[in-house]
Amino acid sequence: MNKLDRYILLRLFTITLFVLGMLILIFVLIDFSENSDEFADKGADMAEIWGQYYLNYIPEMTRLVSPVAVLVACLVLTGQMTERLEITAIKASGISLYRLIMPYLFFGLTVALTVSYLDAFIIPNSNAERIAFEQQYMSNSGDRIDRGGIFRQDSDSTIININFYDHNANIGHRVTFIEFEEDRIQKIITANRISWVDSTSTWVTDRAQNRVFRDVAFEEFDTEDEEIELNILPRDLTRRTSDIYQLTYPEALEYIESIKRIGAGGIALPQVQLYSRMAYPISIIVVCIIGFAIATERRKGGKGFYIAAGLSFSFIYLTLMKVIEPFGAAGTLTPEFTAFFPHLFFFILGLIALIMAKK
């Protein structure tokens, strides 16, 4: 690493940090202005708003706006060097653009790895605190996936149906538990209510009716406070669209496996969410390449052109990720393709733009 590389890295870091701070500040001010009335109506005090909500929102905002901040830094720095003819002088000294982009790629890779680590192990804890605040003080009516008529396959030979589940009390109402072997029903348990007991980590029925089927007859009897062995946990019955964002990568993978195990539907959505989280840091490297390639040539408009190009590119990039996501959640496209295709597409565009740039 020579002096030029250190200069580029320091300038990229400084500009990125400044842009990141400005974007987060703007986001917080806009969000607070939109939700201040709701905070007041629900009785949230300022300590909770700023300490539990916004303080825990900053890591997630940092993850989301990092590609934009890095793109603006690449455009501004490279644009300045181009306008001052520094790029021309560097190329005249025998340094190619492919060599000059190396500190940009190193910076992008460093930021991408940092964001990936934070998203894998740090940000989920902050998201859990923030989402808990939102559930208490803000309207999240569309966040629930499971609302009623819940069916789960506890094992290869057992199925449970819960007509309504109260996620606040961990109580299911009008429950039917069916145990079968091959094509024959062995046992049916119906209960008005089933409750989760934290102390024993078991489910307990209230006034359950049991029917045990024999070859030519069946036996019927009632029980109270009967423990039922289930491999289903309360979290398996209270899924939300925000669940994946509150889990570390290992926890999220285990969560998806548990959804497969219990036979719940809608598995594509959390898969798309998780793989999109994993793929998102790639965008930081992609914007480094594209920002550098765009700004290495002098263009009319100067800095205004570079900023406008950066905002337009960010909008198109984000739009493609959001447009393709519902197709993955619906199962039309595979979750892996949905998560990685936008980044691969713009990575190829970035390579083409770099190759076409004047050497």
252-309: pLDDT as tens digits: 999 898 888 777 777 899 999 999 999 999 999 999 999 999 898 887 766 777 778 7
The DSSP secondary structure of 80-126, one letter per residue, reads HHHHTTHHHHHHHTT--HHHHTHHHHHHHHHHHHHHHHIIIIIHHHH
Alpha-carbon gap, residue 329 to 267, rounded angstroms: 8
| Residue 228: per-residue pLDDT | 87
| Residue 229: per-residue pLDDT | 81
Question: What separation in angstroms does the CA of 130 have from each of 49, 60, 135, 138, 338?
Answer: 10, 10, 9, 11, 27
Tokens 């198109």 -> residue: 316
Maximum Cα–Cα distance across the chain:
95
Alpha-carbon gap, residue 272 to 262, rounded angstroms: 19
| Residue 265: per-residue pLDDT | 72
| Residue 1: per-residue pLDDT | 66
Question: What separation in angstroms does the CA of 261 have from each of 184, 185, 232, 277?
Answer: 22, 21, 9, 23
Which helix (H) or strand (E) segment is 269 a member of? Answer: helix 268-279
How far does Cα 170 stand from its chain's mean position? Answer: 26
Alpha-carbon gap, residue 68 to 72, rounded angstroms: 6
pLDDT in tens, the chain (359 residues): 689 999 999 999 999 999 999 999 999 999 999 999 999 998 999 999 999 999 999 999 999 999 999 999 999 999 999 989 899 899 888 899 999 999 999 999 999 999 999 999 999 999 999 998 998 898 764 566 666 678 888 888 889 999 988 888 899 999 999 998 888 899 999 999 999 999 888 999 988 999 999 887 889 999 988 898 888 888 888 788 889 999 999 999 998 988 887 777 778 999 999 999 999 999 999 999 999 998 988 877 667 777 787 778 888 998 999 999 999 999 899 999 999 999 999 999 999 989 988 76
Rounded to two decimals, the pTM is: 0.86
Backbone angles phi, psi at 185, to 5 degrees: -80, 130
